[in-house]
Chains A and B, each alone.
Chain A
Amino acid sequence: MSVALRADREGGHAILVATGPFDLAHATEVTQAVRDAEASLNGCRSVDVELAQIDRIDGAGAVLLARLLDRLEADGRQASVKGDNPEAARLIALYRERRTVLPAPQIRTKNPLTRIGAVVAHLPGKANDAFDFIGRCAVAIPKAAVTPSSVDWRSLPRLMQEIGADALPVTSAANLVVGIIIGLLGISELGRFGAISYVPELVVVAHFRELGPLVTAIVVAGRSGAGLASKMATMKVSEEIDALRSMGFDPVRWLVLPRCLALAVTVPLLTWVGDLLALVGGLVATVVMTDMTPHAYMEGTLKAITASNLLTGLIKAPFLALAIGLIACGQGLLTRGGAAAVGARTTTAVVLSIFSTIVISALFTLFFALMGA
């Protein structure tokens, strides 16, 4: 039998005779039947819904009939159920009785200016969180020096392995490719002026001073920074951080310091290995694409490697590493909520880490330029 809600009218009174299955599987038909029946009730002051001929009813069918009765009553009409179907009557009564009357939903404005305003309004709070975390880290260093047992030193070798050594293949590959790119760019641009012999110097200066630390830091931020942030965020949402606090540990000293230290030690080493591989990349590109011999390239390279070129890059590396560590751990510790919050914080941590490394690198370049280094 198909679903129907037939309206039998007698003056101002109507009987809606429900027939067929009123269940979830037929909810679309029930909705349509309810809509049609409702439209035919104009001018009725009282309505009875006859339940005796309903084949089968479940929560879905009961909800749709219950809401029909609610709407009729809200419209000022008398509405009730009748007929020998106690199960249907009980279900309808249950859903009517348990209905929550909600306030009208607030219309959320989509105005772009409002959105910009909301973002700006959150900035002071976020800046406050960031400074608070940096302050706690700054305080943690002297405290850690006074009480070394408050830092998880035993995890340091493992962290250096995970954060540094395990990242070596990917940072090396990235630096090698960047060395090749600089070499090819030099051949193309300097070759126009017959200055191919300056390609080794270009590779050294560009990579040692700027691109080496930056490329390494970006790769580490994407790989290890994301890992750190998600691990810390998961620890936060699963109450491991709270457990540490409850046992008297300072999470900044116990967790953040070893991670930042591991990054500060390993990122310069990764940068240094990356510099060497970039030289190899430049050498391969130049030797393959031009007449320059490997020996001539090496001579040009050795001439270009000065303390200034080498150190300006390597000095930056630990600062970039610290920025990655602090941002990743800070974002992890600020996590609130569940799995979705872990993902969101990890994304924020990676974006902020990469952006920060670029800004810090630029500030160092400006500083060295002003100092004439």
Chain B
Amino acid sequence: MPSRPHITVDDLRIGYGTRVLMEHTTFQVERGTIFAILGGSGCGKSSLLRHLIGLELQQAGRIDIDGVGEPSQYEGVPPFGVLFQSGALFSSLTLAENLWLPLNRWTPMRGATAHELVQAKLDLVGLGAFAEYLPGEISGGMKKRAGVARALVLEADLLFFDEPSAGLDPISAVELDQLIITLSRDLGITVVIVTHELPSIFLVADNCIVLDKAAKGIVARGDPRKLRDESKIPFVHAFFTRSSYDVTANPGG
């Protein structure tokens, strides 16, 4: 019997005031997979992510995270971790303190055990030697990896990544992609990535949806490699092959 999807989005409409960014959006994310939300700038990728993690309330439709329900209504130990685009580490705290903060809020662990767990998460992302560094003292790639460690510290089985490769050099970007693969394959974590970095998409994503601003929703879904090779939709083909695409000629994508 197939397992229940980790995330179910049903007939979602999101927007701000009278401005609708996306409507009639339906998709599912299977447990333990790496799922990419793709699309050009301004298509609503990051807005969709903000709705999925409960920071914004949708105008219509349903978001259901297994075991949590509607994320914006959920209170308690966060059931997922989030890596924000900038890392969003607290600049006045060391990396270890950044990880210790949620642990201290949501678990009774203190002292040596908490230290051991924090250190292990930093080790996992390759930052074991930087526990006492402030975010301002490390590079952009290291900040993102520290953000991943913080997202992992409460042992969530679902992680959201907002533009993980943005602003990173190619080597750091590949290292982060490898880390995402490790998290999914070795820890069984479901990963949802918002990105438009093609090398990263082809390397890590099992499945994806492609959003289009003009269509106000999903224009394609499936394995990104297959979409690249087989999709007949002009926007999707242009997106995956980095070719030019005349939006005015194809307003519906």
Interface residues of B in 109-155 (CB under 8 A from A): 109, 113, 116-117, 119-124, 126, 128-129, 131, 134-136, 152, 154-155
Known interface pairs A27-B107, A27-B113; A337-B134 also in contact (CB < 8 Å)? yes
Chain B residues, Cβ within 8 Å of A64: 113, 116-117
B108 at the interface (CB under 8 A from A): yes
B80 to chain A, nearest CB (A): 14
Closest A residue to B110 by beta carbon equals A28
A337 touches B136 (CB 8 A): yes
Chain B residues, Cβ within 8 Å of A98: 120, 123-124, 126, 128
Chain B residues, Cβ within 8 Å of A341: 91, 136
Closest B residue to A87 by beta carbon equals B188
A329 at the interface (CB under 8 A from B): no
Looking at chain A's contact residues, is the secondary structure mostly helix, strand, loop, or mixed? helix
Chain A residues, Cβ within 8 Å of B123: 95, 98-100
B248 at the interface (CB under 8 A from A): no
Chain A residues, Cβ within 8 Å of B244: none
B187 at the interface (CB under 8 A from A): yes
B113, B131, B187: the one within 8 Å of A28 (CB): B113
B109 touches A27 (CB 8 A): yes
CA–CA, A328 and B122, complex, Å: 38
B230 at the interface (CB under 8 A from A): no
B173 to chain A, nearest CB (A): 20
Known interface pairs A91-B187, A340-B92; A24-B154 also in contact (CB < 8 Å)? yes
B187 touches A63 (CB 8 A): no
Interface residues of A in 75-134 (CB under 8 A from B): 87, 90-91, 94-95, 98-100, 102
A252 at the interface (CB under 8 A from B): no
* Count of chain A residues with a beta carbon within 8 Å of a chain B beta carbon: 29
A100 touches B116 (CB 8 A): no
B87 to chain A, nearest CB (A): 10
A63 touches B109 (CB 8 A): no
Chain A residues, Cβ within 8 Å of B246: none
B125 to chain A, nearest CB (A): 8
- Among A63, A64, A94, A95, max chain B CB count under 10 A is at A63
Chain B residues, Cβ within 8 Å of A25: 107
A58 at the interface (CB under 8 A from B): yes
Closest A residue to B124 by beta carbon equals A98
B186 at the interface (CB under 8 A from A): yes
B109 touches A94 (CB 8 A): no
- Among B135, B154, B182, B187, max chain A CB count under 10 A is at B187
CA–CA, A64 and B182, complex, Å: 20
A356 at the interface (CB under 8 A from B): no
A46 at the interface (CB under 8 A from B): no
A9 at the interface (CB under 8 A from B): no
B155 touches A59 (CB 8 A): yes
Chain B residues, Cβ within 8 Å of A24: 107, 154-155
CA–CA, A28 and B109, complex, Å: 6
CA–CA, A63 and B123, complex, Å: 11
Chain B residues, Cβ within 8 Å of A337: 91, 134, 136
B92 touches A102 (CB 8 A): no
A150 at the interface (CB under 8 A from B): no
B108, B120, B126: the one within 8 Å of A95 (CB): B120
- Among A59, A337, A341, max chain B CB count under 10 A is at A59
A336 touches B187 (CB 8 A): no
Chain B residues, Cβ within 8 Å of A95: 120, 123-124
Interface contacts beyond A91-B186, A100-B123, A100-B128: sample of 8 additional A-B pairs, CB < 8 Å, sorted by A: A27-B113, A27-B117, A28-B108, A59-B155, A94-B124, A337-B136, A338-B92, A340-B136
27 A-B pairs with CB atoms under 8 Å apart are A23-B155, A24-B107, A27-B109, A27-B113, A28-B108, A28-B113, A31-B113, A58-B155, A59-B117, A60-B155, A63-B116, A63-B120, A64-B116, A67-B116, A87-B188, A91-B186, A94-B124, A94-B186, A98-B120, A99-B120, A99-B123, A102-B128, A102-B129, A338-B135, A338-B136, A339-B92, A340-B134
User: Ordered nearest first, which 5 A-B pairs have the shortest CB separation?
Assistant: A100-B128, A338-B91, A340-B92, A337-B136, A63-B120
- Interface residues of A, Cβ cutoff 8 Å to B: 23-25, 27-28, 31, 58-60, 63-64, 66-67, 87, 90-91, 94-95, 98-100, 102, 336-341, 343
